[in-house]
């Protein structure tokens, strides 16, 4: 078993799950726009944000749900990872690479590949479509962790994968030295509370922007965020408030972000909402790959209203 670093505390931070920008016809990754997006995460000098901050996020997650990983080719995935690691590292960002699969052997290879490329950690999603039993999920992630030279962040998102890790299975997995964190995207604050109580060494991060602040009350110490694509400075400020115990300040930031975050996630399947918002802000072409489609006039209008309400347009 390879041994990842034992100091995983850096994972308790503000991470943006970045979108994958495509060329206008959707046929290729827009490398220039990708580099712009990474730079924006490190230095979010955004004149559209009345509360803009010079402090960027702690790191980025690429090739996740928001990055449309299911429609990214293996060649494109390597390109995105290489560009993100090289450019993000130069800007002081930590880079977490999506390396999950519903094929265990493939997930193991992706884990090894991310380490060879110089990633700081991987995000490993619960196997989708197969609908494994808990023992299958346990063995899957144990094989990934055994192959790991860098920390593994589990990704529990039953709305996408069709199955969920139970708290018992999470506790079993948390004993592995290479399983460092869990991205919690089940929508349950109660479940997060019980995980924090039973898995003291596991770093728990919010995977639901509207719940990040409520989840802080039960022990989450970071977030993998969608809204960070447009407001990385405010995301960082929210996580800093959690770390510093600034409950009044954090609550105010939550009240600022929650309507926009909830609206973008409820109007259409992620990342349609956030890509629409970025297009309206001049930050992305808004192109998605089939079977996802661009927002229609009604959704675009609703996103525009959310941005106006947030003072961004």
Tell me whether residue 98 is in a domain: yes
| Domain of residue 118, CATH code | 3.20.20.70
Tell me whether residue 292 is in a domain: no
The contacts of residue 313 (CB under 8 Å, 6+ apart) are 48, 280, 281, 304, 307
Out of 112, 138, 155, 275, which one is annotated catalytic? 155
Question: Phi/psi class of residue 166: alpha, beta or left (left: φ > 0; alpha: ψ in -120 to 50)?
Answer: beta
Rounded to an integer, the average pLDDT of 281-308 is 96
Whether 183 is catalytic is yes
Tell me whether residue 52 is in a domain: yes
Whole-angstrom distance, CA of residue 159 vs CA of residue 50: 34
Tell me whether residue 286 is in a domain: no
Tell me whether residue 289 is in a domain: no
Tell me whether residue 263 is in a domain: no
Coil, strand or helix at 223? strand
Residue 7's pLDDT is what? Answer: 84
Quickly state the pLDDT bin for 1 (edges 50, 70, 90): low
pLDDT digits (tens, 9 = 90+) for 38-76: 999 998 765 555 555 567 999 999 999 999 999 999 999
- The vertex-263 CA angle with 260 and 269, nearest 5°, equals 125
Tell me whether residue 251 is in a domain: no
Is the pLDDT at 140 greater than 70, yes or no? yes
Residue 46's pLDDT is what? Answer: 55
Domains in the chain, number: 1
Tell me whether residue 96 is in a domain: yes
Domain limits at 135?
9-246
Reported pTM: 0.95
pLDDT digits (tens, 9 = 90+) for 166-221: 999 999 999 999 999 999 999 999 999 999 999 999 999 999 999 999 999 999 99
Out of 33, 112, 138, 183, which one is annotated catalytic? 183
| Cα Rg, the chain, nearest whole Å | 18
């Amino acid at each position: 078993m390879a041994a990842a670093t034992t100091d995983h505390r850096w994972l308790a931070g503000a991470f943006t799950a970045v979108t994958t920008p495509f060329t206008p016809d959707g046929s290729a990754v827009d490398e220039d726009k990708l580099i712009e997006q990474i730079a924006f995460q490190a230095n979010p000098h955004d004149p559209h944000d009345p509360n803009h901050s010079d402090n960027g996020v702690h790191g980025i997650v690429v090739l996740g749900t928001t990055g449309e990983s299911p429609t990214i080719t293996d060649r494109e995935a390597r390109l995105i990872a290489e560009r993100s690691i090289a450019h993000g590292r130069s800007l002081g960002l930590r880079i977490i690479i999506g390396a999950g699969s519903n094929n265990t052997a493939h997930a193991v290879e992706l884990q090894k590949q991310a380490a060879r490329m110089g990633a700081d950690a991987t995000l490993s999603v619960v196997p989708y479509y197969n609908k494994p039993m808990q023992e299958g999920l346990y063995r899957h992630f144990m094989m990934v962790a055994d192959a790991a030279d860098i920390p593994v962040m589990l990704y529990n998102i039953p709305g996408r994968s069709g199955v969920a890790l139970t708290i018992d299975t999470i506790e079993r997995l948390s004993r592995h030295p290479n399983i460092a964190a869990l991205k919690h995207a089940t929508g349950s604050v109660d479940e997060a509370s019980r995980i924090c109580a039973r898995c003291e060494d596991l770093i728990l991060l919010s995977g639901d922007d509207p719940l990040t602040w409520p989840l802080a009350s039960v022990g989450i110490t970071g977030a993998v965020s969608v809204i960070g694509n447009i407001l990385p400075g405010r995301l960082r400020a929210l996580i800093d408030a959690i770390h510093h115990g600034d409950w009044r300040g954090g609550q105010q930031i939550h009240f600022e972000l929650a309507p926009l975050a909830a609206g973008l996630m409820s109007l259409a399947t992620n990342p349609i909402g956030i890509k629409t918002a970025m297009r309206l802000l001049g930050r992305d072409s808004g192109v998605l790959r089939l079977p996802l489609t661009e927002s229609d006039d009604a959704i675009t209008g609703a996103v525009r209203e959310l941005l106006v309400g947030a003072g961004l347009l």
